[in-house]
Amino acid sequence: MPQPPDSADIPEARVTPQRRWSLQLVWLIPIVAALIGGGLALQAVLQRGPTITISFSTAEGLEPQKTRVKYRSVDIGRVTAVGFSRDRKRVVATVELSKEAEPFLVADTRFWVVRPRVSATQISGLGTLLSGAYIGMDPGKSGESRRAFVGLDVPPIVTIDRPGHHFTLHAEDLGSLDVGSPVYFRRVHVGTVVAYELDQDGKGVQFRVFVNAPYDRFVKPDTRFWQASGLDLTLDASGIKLNTESVASLLLGGIAFQTPAESAQAPPAKENASFALYPDRSIAMRLPDTAEETYTMVFDESVRGLSIGAPVDFRGVVIGEVAAIGVDFDAKSGDVRIPVQVRLYPDRLLGKAKREALSHGALINKLVARGVRAQLRSGSLLTGQLYVALDYFPDAPKAAVRMRGGRAEIPTVASSLKELQTTLLRLARKLDKLPLQGTVADARKSLQALQATLAATERAVNHVDSDLTPQAVRTLADLSQTLASAQKTLAGAQRSLAGVNGMLAENAPMRRQLLDALRQFARAAESLRSLADYLERNPGAILRGRIERQPQ
Amino acid sequence: MSAAPTAARLGLLACEVCRLLSRAPHSRGTAHCPRCGAALHARKPASLVRTWAFLIAAMILYVPANTLPIMDTSSLFGTQSNTIFSGVAYLWTSGSFVLALVVFIASVMVPLAKMIALTVLALSVQLRATWHPRTRTRLYRVIEFIGRWSMLDIYVVTILAALVHVSTLASIQAGPAAAAFGAVVVLTMFASASFDPRLIWDVMGEQP
């Protein structure tokens, strides 16, 4: 082992003053690391948004960790897990959203899966063919926060933030409309059918339509909507008219609306205002039947040929329609009544202004009191269709509108056909009751007797001819002699009358005396008249005599 | 061999640059080589403190390196971001067991093992432990050797990011975890470099 060298041979190291703080610099590194790590962690915590669940009917296209949630094509989250709901009927996607999505999560926010879709009106989601489906979002406006959502099966037609108004329409049936069908205003596409559903009672279809912003102000409270589906072919006195909104509506159907000119200045309709959807434009633009009254009519005859919707007609003006035809069996009396329910629109008889002066039902009451009755009439002899006519029957027995079972009942009269029928029937019955057999026998006997009489008469005439004629000739000769003597007598009479005439001539004294006598007689009659007048005024004078009135 | 003469015990310092041996000064202050002027140290200066500092920094950054996405893949079919672990899981579930194992060992196991080993070494020196000094020295050598291999992940990400850049069709970008992971690897290398294995033996010499 070699000896360590002498320490003196080894040079001593030089010394410089120590910088003690330099050792501490190394701790800056973990501090910086901690700051970076802490910053990243803080950022991650702050960036971490809410986790929500969305239930869908199918998980088609949904992949955990891969499927995104997008709002206006901006990534705001992704699906972290896909599982089943508790009842295993739906698929529940757990979605982790970014922080900025927090305010979107309110009660009426909607989610749907964006997949490629091809419909008659549009093709959408083609981009997802390559990128895979994603979840679309339509943030709601509600203030209520929510974390569990039910996803839509189809994308919403109208997003919540789109300016415009929703309206509700009621129609008899769907027609050829569908979700996405256009809404036209003066043939401009201004809106869309958003949804439709059957009424709760199944008696109609309810549509929800959306009218885009600048156009929604044209929807007034009095606006009429009608189905602009397909073709409208009218044949009338002016010729054939073919009407359609657009080629698209020809195929897809659509809704059009218009406001009557008189209410064009009204304020726009409110959100979710309700309207009727009429089958066509002409019906829609008719005067609205704001007042509607329901009456029952019981006809004592067959209502065959009367259908629901048949018109109720007042001297040719349609003022209502048949709403229902029922059969009412009265168990107590065993009678079967056929009540026909009608809807009447009194506005059609009166103006709107006058209508307000008359209370409910007053018009019909008045008309019935004046002799108006309901009657079934045949609209067409060919088809046998009946309609209900209201008309004056002055001969009808007095009646009034009665209330029966909560419904006002308008008295009816038998139809003219029926009346004719009953009359004929009555006649036939009477004829039937006549003792025709006997009558005919009697008549025959009478005829025989008549024949005998005639024969006797003939014989008598013959007898007259042979026996009476010479006698008659003689009588005539006698008559001629008698006439000649009568002529002589008349000439004598003429002479006597001429004598009388002389007596009564102008200056004959007898005539003057007669005139005097007549004049006196006239005077006597005059005084008698004044006496009668006086007596008439003072009957008491008969008893008390004439009282001379003293001048006052 | 408990009191074997070492340079430090004899008060001698070797210049780490020109290898000149010189005597340690008696006065306080930083010693400098009389020949070339380089700073002289009996042991690596502040070895334990620096090791701890680097180690703690590496441990802190190891968390974001594993939780944040290391790679963002965006293609026509959507974007996808993977953390190291999700990448390993993807490889494993898609059947590439060997590749999954390689990535797992290189990217997860090695940095973790290195940090644990360094902690053990630093702790043992700090506590002046005399436990298996030879084994601990071998451990240190292993750490020095495998340290560089954990950069595998960073290489993969950088190469992919550079290669796959077909703007609209597909592109790969390094995520925030890549930087953190790189920092972890570098910091553990610094930590192992600043650790002085002679400290393990210094304690042994003092023992009677």
- Summarize pLDDT for A27-45 with one digit per residue, the tens: 888 888 888 888 877 887 8
Query: Cβ of B176 and A40 within 8 Å?
Result: yes
The pLDDT of A166-182, averaged and rounded, is: 84
Give the gap in angstroms from C-alpha A60 to the nearest C-alpha of chain B. 16
Domain ranges for chain A: 47-150, 164-284, 293-414, 509-537
User: Which pLDDT score, from 0 to 100, does residue B208 have?
Assistant: 43
User: Which pLDDT score, from 0 to 100, does residue A454 have?
Assistant: 92
User: Which pLDDT score, from 0 to 100, does residue B119 have?
Assistant: 92
Residues 15-44 of B with CB under 8 A from A: 20-25, 27-35, 37, 40
Of A231 and A12, more confident: A12
Find, in chain A, the residue whose alpha carbon is nearest to that of B27.
Answer: A15
Of B24, B56, B57, the CB nearest to A13: B24
Of A12, A23, A37, the CB nearest to B64: A37
Q: Assess whether pLDDT exceeds 90 at residue A520.
A: yes
User: Which pLDDT score, from 0 to 100, does residue A145 have?
Assistant: 85
Query: Cβ of A18 and B28 within 8 Å?
Result: yes
User: Which pLDDT score, from 0 to 100, does residue A455 have?
Assistant: 92
Cα(B29)–Cα(B38) distance, rounded to whole angstroms? 14
B112-119: long-range pairs with CB below 8 Å, 24+: B112/B62, B113/B146, B114/B143, B114/B146, B114/B147, B114/B150, B114/B188, B114/B192, B115/B55, B115/B58, B115/B59, B115/B62, B115/B188, B117/B142, B117/B143, B118/B51, B118/B55, B118/B143, B118/B188, B118/B191, B118/B192, B118/B195, B119/B55
Q: Assess whether pLDDT exceeds 60 at residue A2.
A: no
User: Which pLDDT score, from 0 to 100, does residue A359 have?
Assistant: 64
For A76-126, write each residue's pLDDT tens digit. Answer: 888 888 989 888 888 999 998 888 888 888 888 889 888 887 766 667 777
Residues 178-197 of B with CB under 8 A from A: 180, 183, 187
Which site among A3, A15, A126 would you substitute to test the B interface, given the most B Cβ atoms closer than 10 Å to its Cβ?
A: A15
User: Which pLDDT score, from 0 to 100, does residue A232 have?
Assistant: 66
| Confidence class for position A230, pLDDT limits 50, 70, 90 | low
Query: Cβ of A10 and B22 within 8 Å?
Result: yes
Of B22, B49, B53, the CB nearest to A13: B22
Of A19, A34, A130, the CB nearest to B76: A130
Query: Does ipTM surpass 0.90 in this model?
Result: no
Rg (CA), chain B: 22
Of A186 and A330, more confident: A186
**How long a stretch of residues is chain B?**
208
User: Which pLDDT score, from 0 to 100, does residue A519 have?
Assistant: 92
User: Which pLDDT score, from 0 to 100, does residue B1 have?
Assistant: 44
The pLDDT of A480-501, averaged and rounded, is: 87
User: Which pLDDT score, from 0 to 100, does residue A290 have?
Assistant: 63
User: Which pLDDT score, from 0 to 100, does residue B200 have?
Assistant: 81
Query: Cβ of B45 and A23 within 8 Å?
Result: yes
* Interchain contact A25–B (C-beta under 8 A): no
**Helix, strand, coil content of chain B in percent (nearest 5):** 60, 15, 30
- Mean pLDDT, chain A, integer: 81
Of A13, A33, A44, the CB nearest to B31: A13
Q: Assess whether pLDDT exceeds 60 at residue A353.
A: no
| Confidence class for position A237, pLDDT limits 50, 70, 90 | low
Cα(A66)–Cα(A129) distance, rounded to whole angstroms? 15
User: Which pLDDT score, from 0 to 100, does residue A265 have?
Assistant: 80
Residues 47-86 of B with CB under 8 A from A: 49-50, 53-54, 56-58, 60-61, 63-64, 67-68, 76-80
User: Which pLDDT score, from 0 to 100, does residue A1 have?
Assistant: 45
Give the gap in angstroms from C-alpha A78 to the nearest C-alpha of chain B. 11
User: Which pLDDT score, from 0 to 100, does residue A449 have?
Assistant: 92
Q: Which residues touch A73 (CB under 8 Å, ≥6 apart)? A: none
Q: In B, which residues are within 8 Å of A4 by CB distance?
A: 5, 10
| Confidence class for position A453, pLDDT limits 50, 70, 90 | very high
DSSP three-state, residue B36:
coil
The pLDDT of A393-415, averaged and rounded, is: 80
Q: Which domains does chain B have, with CATH numbers?
A: 1-42 (no CATH), 44-206 (1.20.140)
* Three-state SS letters, A486-520: HHHHHHHHHHHHHHHHHHCCCCCHHHHHHHHHHHH
Q: What percent of chain A has pLDDT over 70?
A: 87
Q: Which helix (H) or strand (E) holds A447?
A: helix A436-463
Query: Cβ of B31 and A44 within 8 Å?
Result: no
Find, in chain B, the residue whose alpha carbon is nearest to that of A32.
Answer: B57
Query: pLDDT by residue for chain B (208 residues), tens digit each?
Result: 445 677 777 778 888 888 888 887 777 777 888 888 887 777 777 788 888 888 999 998 888 888 888 877 777 666 677 888 888 888 888 888 888 888 888 888 888 888 999 999 889 888 887 888 888 889 888 888 876 676 777 777 778 777 776 666 777 777 788 888 888 888 888 888 888 888 888 777 655 4
